[in-house]
Amino acid sequence: MQIFIDTADLDEIREAYSWGIVDGVTTNPSLIKKAVDRRPGLSMRDYIRDICRSVEGPVSLEVKGVSTEQMVQEAEMLYERFNPVNGNVVVKVPVSTAMEDGQPLFEGIRAIKTLEGRGIPTNATLVMTAEQALMAAKAGATYASPFLGRVDDYLRTKLDIAFDKSDYYDPLCARHLEEQTWEEEASGAELYDRLMRSDISDNGIYSGVDLVDSIVTIYDAYGFDTQVIAASVRNARQAREVAEMGVDIATLPFHVIEDMLTHPKTLEGMQLFTRDVVPEYEELFE
């Protein structure tokens, strides 16, 4: 599994890249906003050039328009301006740009198709369903980014479960909740009806990790070249679970990468080993 770092903070990018385990970077307008808030007055062009120079691997930069025409124009501008820096620009295009019912749905898909046809690699972003991921792959996206953490947020909010952003959401618990229905006395038709209305899943998807699994299964079934980037990953356990299913890439915030190397017994083990270094052993290193 490749690891991308999900940040626009240059210090985090450089630090994580120096660890030797980072293969790329993903940004979005909210992450850029955070970086700008920390460095008021920065030159955005120079800053993005520095990000591109800091890694030998894809750097996703997102368009801001909502129509196919705007997005294609912005993507071409981003690619022409920043790809020459290090040859690693990928343009992030929302899988759908509609913000309200009734707005056009396929602007992003058309932009992806056009850009890939012009040799500009795209990363279909804001993917919340496997159906959207299927559309992105059919349009020829180089990458598709399911936002697994936001799907968990959606499910937990629907179920009225309080949570912190980095809390793990366990789909097994959700399934148990659903199964409880079976323990009640009711006819098959009543149970079926109750289950169908139980609203515990998002149209049959029980968690963000479940969504990534569904997309990996579909892409494997048809041999799509589109690579799956598990995005909106909030904790180390989710990173492990998407790795177990063989996802191509996980894009991880700095703190999740750090969490992946943390265990209390590792800390304790280091204290014990360090305490037990006897002078005879110390001599070896002199």
Collapsed DSSP state (helix, strand, coil) of residue 66: coil
Question: Is there binding between residue 235 and ligand E4P (CB under 6 A)?
Answer: no
Interface stretch with ligand E4P, choices 81-89, 145-153, 168-176, 200-208 (CB under 6 A): 145-153
CB of 126 to ligand E4P, least distance (A): 8
Judged by CB under 6 A, the residue of 17, 79, 82, 147 near ligand E4P is: 147
Question: Is there binding between residue 57 and ligand E4P (CB under 6 A)?
Answer: no
Site string for ligand E4P, 68-107 (x = CB under 6 A): ----------------------------------------
Question: Is there binding between residue 255 and ligand E4P (CB under 6 A)?
Answer: no
Residue type, 140: G
Residues in the chain: 286
Judged by CB under 6 A, the residue of 24, 57, 140, 149 near ligand E4P is: 149
Please, what is the Cα angle at 115 between 149 and 142, to 5 degrees?
45
In 3D, which of 60, 5, 10 has the Cα closest to residue 36?
10
Kindly tell me which of 31 and 195 has the beta carbon lying closer to ligand E4P. 31
How many whole angstroms from its chain centre is CA 246? 14
CB of 35 to ligand E4P, least distance (A): 12
Which one of 64, 92, 138, 265 is the catalytic residue?
92
Residue type, 286: E
The C-alpha atoms of residue 189 and residue 193 are separated, in whole angstroms, by 6
**Residue 265 annotated to the active site:** no
Longest dimension (CA), the chain: 79
Tell me the CA end-to-end span of the chain in Å, nearest whole number: 39
In 3D, which of 111, 86, 96, 188 has the Cα closest to residue 147?
96
Kindly tell me which of 54 and 232 has the beta carbon lying closer to ligand E4P. 232
Question: Is there binding between residue 6 and ligand E4P (CB under 6 A)?
Answer: yes
Interface stretch with ligand E4P, choices 25-33, 192-200, 207-215, 239-247 (CB under 6 A): 25-33
CB of 164 to ligand E4P, least distance (A): 12
Q: Cite the DSSP H helix spans in the chain.
A: 10-18, 29-38, 44-54, 68-86, 107-117, 130-138, 148-158, 171-179, 188-196, 208-222, 236-244, 254-259, 264-275, 279-284
Residues 47-51: contacts with CB under 8 Å, at least 24 apart: 47/10, 48/82, 49/82, 49/85, 50/10, 51/8, 51/10, 51/13, 51/25, 51/27
Interface stretch with ligand E4P, choices 26-34, 41-49, 78-86, 110-118 (CB under 6 A): 26-34
CB of 154 to ligand E4P, least distance (A): 11
Angle, helices 29-38/44-54, rounded to nearest 10 degrees: 110
CB of 62 to ligand E4P, least distance (A): 8
Question: Is there binding between residue 24 and ligand E4P (CB under 6 A)?
Answer: no
Interface stretch with ligand E4P, choices 42-50, 97-105, 114-122, 144-152 (CB under 6 A): 144-152
Question: Is there binding between residue 226 and ligand E4P (CB under 6 A)?
Answer: no
Could you give the residue numbers annotated as active site?
92
Can you give the binding site for ligand E4P, defined by CB under 6 A? 6, 26, 28, 31, 125, 145, 147, 149-150, 231-232, 251
